[in-house]
Amino acid sequence: MKKENAYVTIGELGEYIGQEVALAGWVVTLRSSGKILFLVLRDGTGICQGVLEKTAEHDALFDSLSHLGQESSIEMKGVVRVESRAPGGYELAVSGGRVIGESRDFPITPKEHGIDFLLRQRHLWLRSSRQTAIMRIRDTVTFAIREFFHNREFKLVDTPIFAPSVGEGASTLFEVDYFGQPVYLAQTGQLYLESAAMALRKVYCFGPTFRAEKSKTRRHLTEFWMVEPEVAFIDLDGLLELAEDFICSIVGKVLEKNRSDLELLGRDIGKLEKVQKPFARVTYSEAVEILHGSRAEKLLRVEYSQLEKLIAELEAELEASTQQQATVTKAWQKDKLGARIIEIRDQLAEARESLKNIPLHLELAKGFNWGKDLGGSDETIISKLHERPVFVTHYPRMTKAFYMRQDRANEQVVENFDLLAPEGVGEIIGGSVREEELDRLLARMKEEGLATEPYEWYLDLRRYGSVPHGGFGLGIERTLGWICGLKHIREAIAFPRMMGKVYP
């Protein structure tokens, strides 16, 4: 590997057993018995424990290191030895080192913190082992996406962020002042990508996307990354096959490269290994029947009783821990119990909230009428009834964007699909065949009350050699949230943007 400096990284230590190396990184923990110092260092590639004895020779070094605070940056030299009990499997017999940058009272301690606090400390929170695991997996996902399309001869086309017209729905537009003219931040690259597909046949774009989502949910950000392929001469079956191969290849790459990260996150890897072709395909109308049916009801009832049991267990543990905390004498015992109490309270709040929502979800499912768009709780139910991702196709025309192709056999529905990830995650992909006939497209725009003028360029694609074509968009954060088993997608991006949250 090409090096940018003289330091060996922790990830490479296996190649240096028995040799003296210099590491550079940040202090995770320090423990000193007065005679011997254990210092756990992280350097962005792994963690390594350094051991330093207080000898006459190392007296000054011992003193300078043993007073360091968490996250101080240091250089540490020593001989590498195999130590199966050490985190990472190697240990450094420290013989030299120096402080690079001190850190005092690092705000994020190994104790538990609330989510609002952590989000305000996001610039520092990123250093934690969970967050670095998520970022490493995100890197794998991004690379796997580019590789997948590159290997299939798709060409990357970067679409604009300043857009003069609505892409996906007028209610979530971010307006910006473009030299006195109002324009919007891109909600999708799709319409531009359709032009490019007429030039290059198979194309994709991959970039940030903006939606003024005014609801606070676990699945919505106001700025998220979306990858969108678009293909000329493709039909709905072709699109489903493409999406299926795409998801399997992304999940496969993560399983290959990030097993230890998934383990660190506590992800049930077996569930990801089940992500194999073929995925189930249900139509929207079938999905409505599922929502009305007994399987959905049973699922919710089972969940209700499981939650009741969990709540009772957590309440009992909370009481026991609180009593124990009052009697223990050592500070570290009090801290440990305190951390667990915060955790239990969070879990309890969440479980009570879910319990409260179940009757509502049941009511929504039972009362679901054909013609409505599937809501978050409806998607959750359908997704939970499947072990693999599931395609829902042929939604009512009126719930979907104007550009979707009407099914010629049933004009009430369109040739579209959403891909719902399993385990209750819900939609991670939305896509469709595009309406290729000018007259039908114009009629749909009229139905939606859209002025044609801003879309003249888009309509030109139907005037000059129109062909059947289609594509889809996959949200990176939702996909990553599913793969990593995150409860909320805010941890799936380095600096999340949500309503009311833009700092740091």
Binding site for Mg ion (CB under 5 A): 430
Extended strands (E) in 102-254 = 155-156, 162-163, 175-178, 181-185, 202-210, 223-232
Exactly one of 27, 68, 221, 236 binds ligand 4AD (CB under 6 A); that residue is: 221
Exactly one of 27, 265, 428, 461 binds ligand 4AD (CB under 6 A); that residue is: 428
Minimum Å gap between C-beta 475 and Mg ion is 9
The option from Mg ion, ligand 4AD, none interacting with 482 (CB < 5 to 8 A, set by class) reads none
Among the residue ranges 7-15, 87-95, 173-181, 220-228, the one whose residues contact ligand 4AD (CB under 6 A) = 220-228
Minimum Å gap between C-beta 272 and Mg ion is 23
Q: Which is nearer to ligand 4AD, 42 or 490 (CB)?
A: 490
Angle, alpha carbons 153-158-160 (nearest 5°): 150
CA distance 72 to 104: 8
Minimum Å gap between C-beta 471 and ligand 4AD is 5
Structure token digits, residue 123: 């610039």
Among the residue ranges 55-63, 97-105, 144-152, 425-433, the one whose residues contact ligand 4AD (CB under 6 A) = 425-433
Question: With the CA atoms of 242, 245, 247 and 248 taken in that order, what torsion angle do they form, in degrees rounded to the nearest 10?
Answer: 170
Closest of 78, 6, 73, 79 to residue 44, by C-alpha: 73
CB 144, CB 249: distance < 8 Å: yes
Among the residue ranges 125-133, 377-385, 388-396, 469-477, the one whose residues contact ligand 4AD (CB under 6 A) = 469-477
The option from ligand 4AD, Mg ion, none interacting with 378 (CB < 5 to 8 A, set by class) reads none
493 sits near ligand 4AD (criterion: CB under 6 A):
no
210 sits near ligand 4AD (criterion: CB under 6 A):
no
475 sits near ligand 4AD (criterion: CB under 6 A):
yes
- Count of CB atoms within 10 A of residue 171's CB? 10
Q: Which is nearer to ligand 4AD, 72 or 479 (CB)?
A: 479
Minimum Å gap between C-beta 211 and ligand 4AD is 5
CA distance 365 to 379: 10
- Provide the pairing of β-strand 20-32 with 73-82: antiparallel
The option from ligand 4AD, Mg ion, none interacting with 49 (CB < 5 to 8 A, set by class) reads none
Among the residue ranges 21-29, 60-68, 275-283, 426-434, the one whose residues contact ligand 4AD (CB under 6 A) = 426-434
Q: Which is nearer to ligand 4AD, 184 or 224 (CB)?
A: 224
Minimum Å gap between C-beta 418 and Mg ion is 6
Exactly one of 49, 188, 258, 377 binds ligand 4AD (CB under 6 A); that residue is: 188
436 sits near ligand 4AD (criterion: CB under 6 A):
no
* 3-class secondary-structure state, position 139: helix
Amino acid at 363: E
433 sits near ligand 4AD (criterion: CB under 6 A):
no
* 3-class secondary-structure state, position 95: strand
Residue whose entry in the numeric block shows the structure tokens 């239990």? 344
Structure token digits, residue 98: 């120096």
Which residues face 210 on adjacent strands?
223
- Count of CB atoms within 10 A of residue 461's CB? 20
Structure token digits, residue 285: 């109308």
Q: Which is nearer to Mg ion, 25 or 430 (CB)?
A: 430
202 sits near ligand 4AD (criterion: CB under 6 A):
no
Contacts of 177 (CB under 8 A, 6+ apart): none
490 sits near ligand 4AD (criterion: CB under 6 A):
no
Contacts 24+ apart (CB under 8 A), 369-378: 370/285, 370/288, 370/396, 371/396, 371/398, 371/399, 372/396, 372/399, 373/399, 373/400, 374/284, 374/287, 374/418, 376/217, 376/219, 376/426, 378/287, 378/291
CB 318, CB 344: distance < 8 Å: yes
25 sits near ligand 4AD (criterion: CB under 6 A):
no
- Closest-by-Cβ residue to Mg ion is 430
Among the residue ranges 63-71, 126-134, 285-293, 465-473, the one whose residues contact ligand 4AD (CB under 6 A) = 465-473
What helix, strand, coil percent values describe the chain, rounded to 5? 45, 25, 30
Exactly one of 477, 480, 481, 490 binds ligand 4AD (CB under 6 A); that residue is: 477
471 sits near ligand 4AD (criterion: CB under 6 A):
yes
424 sits near ligand 4AD (criterion: CB under 6 A):
no
CA distance 394 to 168: 18
378 sits near ligand 4AD (criterion: CB under 6 A):
no
Task: Return phi, psi of residue 250, to 5°.
Answer: -65, -50
**Angle, helices 294-327/331-366, rounded to nearest 10 degrees:** 160
Minimum Å gap between C-beta 429 and Mg ion is 8
Minimum Å gap between C-beta 431 and Mg ion is 9
194 sits near ligand 4AD (criterion: CB under 6 A):
no
For ligand 4AD, the binding residues (CB under 6 A) are 168, 188, 190, 211, 213, 220-221, 224, 226, 228, 427-432, 471-475, 477-478
